[in-house]
Amino acid sequence: MESSLAEEVKKTSLDIFERIAAAEAKIHGRDIADVHFHEVGAVDSIIDIVGTAIGLHKLEIEKILSGPVPLGSGSIDTSHGKLPIPAPATIEILEGVPVYRGDFDFEVTTPTGAGIVRTLARGFERIMDMEIERIGYGAGSKGISGHNRSRHSSLPNVLRAVIGNQVKKEEKIKKGHSCDTVMLSTNIDDSSPEVLGYTMEKLHEQKAVRDAWLEHIYMKKNRPAFKLSIICDLKEEAAMAHIIFKETSTIGIRREEISRYCLERKIEKIQLPYGEVEIKTARFDGKEINSSPEYESCRVLAKKTGRPLKEVYRDAILFFSRR
């Protein structure tokens, strides 16, 4: 504690050491005060832990997030003999944290690494919504081949850190960036076009559906199929999924929350010499930048007057530009 390091660095370092020591104490059935130093970490671990604390302090990082933690596989030699990976202390420290084995045949996360990430991370997720400022890579010296890779097809042995400013939901909406929608999609290779066409009609009738479409795809054994996708309101996704399950033969639906940039929209009505149509306008920074006739209102007017639809479209655009 008599070190010249900043108090914040000392506290961060001690917090990490204490977490590792607590895990070792639990595994060995001892009191944390009786854990020997060699069980907590060697000199390289001290450098890793204190160096991390110094770096965070100098970078003035406010919040740390980590992706799911890779563990690796195989076994390691310890003072207690050969043990399976992950080491007992590693798995003890990472209790409650999302982990995965990965395509690695060695120890990827050590107790020291586990202690650092478990102590410092405030959440475990993929890269969050942020405005990226800086990116750093740390490369290791160990060559990585993995279980399913040839000796000449190695994995990059690097750790990446991304620094940025978190973009809050209200800021996104203010900038026109909305994240209140979800995309549902499914591949279907055993349904008739009539059934899928009817399903699309039903989906387009739902107010919660922002868009819906079909794509021609080829599945296993080169079977022609369709990919059905919709973008709908997040709060209504269960109801939309129910329609897809009920109307089609699919047994699984993928989901992905998505973000969108949306312009301010408005529907205006204009009077043509032979009837009324609607025009959709879009604004950016208060200025109108897009406009187009609404198909349904033009279709109704074309059928009512007997005029060609393309003529109604042409007149709607012409009269709207003169307003």
Q: Which candidate, 228, 223, 227, places its Cα nearest to that of 240?
A: 228
Domain 264-321: which topology?
Answer: Ubiquitin-like (UB roll) (3.10.20)
Please tell me the least confidently modeled range out of 40-44, 107-111, 174-178, 193-197: 174-178
Q: How far out from the chain centre does Cα 89 lie?
A: 30
Rounded average pLDDT over 128-138 = 83
Rounded average pLDDT over 283-307 = 91
Q: According to CATH, where is 3.30.70.1380 located in the chain?
A: 175-261
Q: What is the pLDDT of residues 39-95, one digit of tens each?
A: 445 677 888 899 999 998 888 888 888 888 888 888 877 777 788 888 888 989 998
- With 90 as the cut, is the pLDDT of residue 273 above it? yes
Q: On the CB side of 292, how many CA atoms lie within 13 Å of its CA?
A: 7
With pLDDT > 70 as the criterion, what percentage of the chain qualifies?
87
Rounded average pLDDT over 283-301 = 90
Q: How many other CB atoms sit within 10 Å of the CB of residue 202?
A: 14
- With 70 as the cut, is the pLDDT of residue 2 above it? no
Rounded average pLDDT over 125-143 = 79
Q: Residue 203: its pLDDT value, please? A: 95
Q: Which residue would you say has higher pLDDT here, 2 or 223?
A: 223
Rounded average pLDDT over 231-241 = 91
Enclosing H/E stretch for 10: helix 7-28
Q: Residue 323: its pLDDT value, please? A: 77
Q: According to CATH, where is 3.10.20.300 located in the chain?
A: 264-321
- Say how many Å lie between the first and final Cα of the chain, rounded: 77
- With 70 as the cut, is the pLDDT of residue 155 above it? no
- With 60 as the cut, is the pLDDT of residue 289 above it? yes
Q: What is the pLDDT of residues 181-225, one digit of tens each?
A: 899 999 999 999 999 999 999 999 998 999 999 999 998 888 899
- With 80 as the cut, is the pLDDT of residue 176 above it? no
- Distance from C-alpha of 192 to C-alpha of 237, rounded to nearest angstrom: 24
Q: Which two tokens stand for residue 88?
A: 């007992």
pLDDT band at 295 (very low <50, low <70, confident <90, very high): very high
Q: Residue 116: its pLDDT value, please? A: 93
Enclosing H/E stretch for 272: strand 264-272
pLDDT band at 115 (very low <50, low <70, confident <90, very high): very high
Q: Residue 39: its pLDDT value, please? A: 47
- With 90 as the cut, is the pLDDT of residue 33 above it? no
Q: Which candidate, 110, 16, 5, 130, places its Cα nearest to that of 62?
A: 130
pTM of the model: 0.49
- What angle do the packed helices 7-28 and 43-59 form, to 10 degrees? 140
Q: Which of 14-28, 117-131, 233-247 has the highest mean pLDDT?
A: 233-247
CATH number for region 175-261: 3.30.70.1380
Mean of per-residue pLDDT scores for the chain? 84
Q: Which candidate, 143, 72, 75, places its Cα nearest to that of 103?
A: 72
Q: Residue 298: its pLDDT value, please? A: 95
